[in-house]
Amino acid sequence: MKKVNKILCLTALLALMLLGFSACGGGSAGSGGTETGTEATADAAGAEETAESAAAGVELNVSAAASLTDALEEIYAEYQQASNDIINFNFAASGTLQKQILEGAPCDFFISASKGHMDGLADESLIVPESRKDLLGNALTLIAAAEKADAVSVDSLAGADVASIAIGEPESVPAGNYAKQMLESFGIWEAVESKLIFAKDVRQVLEYVETGNADCGFVYRSDAALLETGVIVTDLPEDSHSPIVYPAALIAGSENEAAAQAFYDFLQADYAKGIFEKYGFTVL
């Protein structure tokens, strides 16, 4: 009997010991579970922070030919409905923008009004080659101040009825270069050279004509469509100057290449195409 009791006591003791080990194991598992929960919380917090950063968007610097001002601003207003990225536009003559980029000015995306100025950046490996695309086309247009509407024509430019002609600086303003080519092709460049008023960009040409500070001037068809007081005289023949093309490209080394590409893609979507066409551009 004593032997049986002894065995029962030993059995009970072993049971208690096993129960204790099990409890310790459970505590360890519980501790492990707590650590896993902490890591999960940290991961969730990190993911939330990343999502918040993405939701806040980035700031993009976009340099674009002055003639694109109204179209791009209208397109950007729509783009803001789908993106939180902030776009800082820098509108100027393409030659001026090219120089700024060459000198290290911040820029993620560039749209030029001439192939030559984009070529200059490509020669310095400052654009992403595979991103380059001819985005738009345009036409060169002769406009006149309201009071000179009946006096201005291509044939009258060299005559006494026209005292002043506004064009962009041919070296930096593509529209000015196209205008010079056109005047040379008509054989009247030397005859009108003394009448020329040079502007910093095509929008200044538009201003000079609308305010009457120039009898007439050469702008793009897209700018001529914005006239309020002046008149459109005529579009110039395409064969009188180089093709008017707007190449676009991402800038090499941009820290915001993905965001710049997203905006670039939007410019090639149907909505943007409709806006460009509304402003007189040809979508290529």
pLDDT of the residue at 188: 98
Is residue 97 within 8 A of residue 173, CB to CB? The reply is no
Q: What pairs with residue 158 in β-bridges? A: none
Return d(Cα 156, Cα 159) in angstroms, integer. Answer: 5
**Beta strand 196-199 with 165-168: parallel, antiparallel or unpaired?**
parallel
pLDDT tens by residue, the chain, 284 residues = 444 344 333 444 444 444 444 444 444 334 444 445 555 444 544 444 444 445 668 999 999 999 999 999 999 999 999 999 999 999 999 999 999 999 999 999 999 999 999 999 999 999 999 999 999 999 999 999 999 999 999 999 999 999 999 999 999 999 999 999 999 999 999 999 999 999 999 999 999 999 999 999 999 999 999 999 999 999 999 999 999 999 999 999 999 999 999 999 999 999 999 999 999 999 99
Q: What pairs with residue 140 in β-bridges? A: 220
DSSP 236: P
The answer to pTM > 0.85 is no
Helix (H) or strand (E) holding 76: helix 69-79
**Which amino acid appears at position 69 of this protein?**
T
pLDDT of the residue at 3: 40
pLDDT of the residue at 37: 52
pLDDT of the residue at 55: 62
Return d(Cα 35, Cα 16) in angstroms, integer. Answer: 29
pLDDT of the residue at 193: 97
Q: What domains can be seen in the chain, in order of their start residue? A: 59-137+245-283 (3.40.190.10), 140-240 (3.40.190.10)
From its phi and psi, is residue 58 left (phi > 0), alpha (psi between -120 and 50) or beta? beta
Distances (CA, A) of 188 to 100, 203, 213: 33, 24, 22
Tell me which residue of 111, 216, 210 sits closest to 162, measured CA to CA: 216
Q: Provide the 10 A C-beta neighbour count for residue 65.
A: 30
